[in-house]
Chains A and B, each alone.
Chain A
Amino acid sequence: NAGVTQTPKFRVLKTGQSMTLLCAQDMNHEYMYWYRQDPGMGLRLIHYSVGEGTTAKGEVPDGYNVSRLKKQNFLLGLESAAPSQTSVYFCASKLGAGNSPLHFGNGTRLTVT
């Protein structure tokens, strides 16, 4: 049982380039989330999804887009990367509403030069 898998693990981009981060979960979870973690800022929610075909904005959505075409996958896109998007990105998933815990992937470390 792999849990939550993020690809890639590391990436370096130049300013203005685009990329997509992939998150896959094999636990049949309804809810999925993208967070970024920065020193001194803690974890902040970028976008989330409460089911296949749905997405919603979190605390810091600007500069990012997401898609949830399949229940098991949640994609995070950067259309035109900026140095301010240098961060560690975490995907998480949850069974559904209610008192079920959040499961995290191991993160993607992104550097934008």
Chain B
Amino acid sequence: KQEVTQIPAALSVPEGENLVLNCSFTDSAIYNLQWFRQDPGKGLTSLLLIQSSQREQTSGRLNASLDKSSGRSTLYIAASQPGDSATYLCAPNRGGSNYKLTFGKGTLLTVNP
């Protein structure tokens, strides 16, 4: 069974800092991996999807990397802003239909002005 661990569980940084969120998973036979953001009382918003054949994916100030063989992914946020405050979840996917998607418990990020 896929186990997903996200470290740290919570992180508080001052505005403007660059930061890295970590995700590790036990089964490296994945099809892709998604990073999501969840604001309080809201659903999840997909940020980035990295295919198993890719090493990196970028969107604006966000960069996600994937090292499938070691079971690790990182989400790098550049020049953090208070609006980045949210819970970030990673979800490796073992199958193309997403029904084998396993979610981590998330990292709660607070960016202080």
Listed in ascending order, the chain A residues whose CB lies under 8 Å from chain B are: 4, 31, 33, 40, 42-43, 45, 48, 50, 56, 58, 90, 92, 94, 97-107
The answer on a CB contact under 8 Å between B106 and A106 is no
The answer on a CB contact under 8 Å between A58 and B99 is yes
How far does the alpha carbon of A96 sit from the alpha carbon of B46 in the complex, in Å?
16
Task: Specify which of A58, A98, A100, A102 lies most central, judged by the most chain B CB atoms within 10 Å of its CB.
Answer: A102
The answer on a CB contact under 8 Å between A48 and B106 is no
Contact of A4 among B41, B43, B89, B91 (CB under 8 A): B43
B16-44 contacts to A (CB < 8 Å) = 31-32, 34, 36, 41-44
Contact of B101 among A4, A40, A102 (CB under 8 A): A102
- Nearest neighbor of A109 in chain B, beta-carbon distance: B41
User: How far is the CB of A59 from the nearest CB of chain B, in Å?
Assistant: 9
User: Which A residues are in CB contact (< 8 Å) with B69?
Assistant: none
B71 interface hit (Cβ, 8 Å) = no
How far does the alpha carbon of A99 sit from the alpha carbon of B49 in the complex, in Å?
8
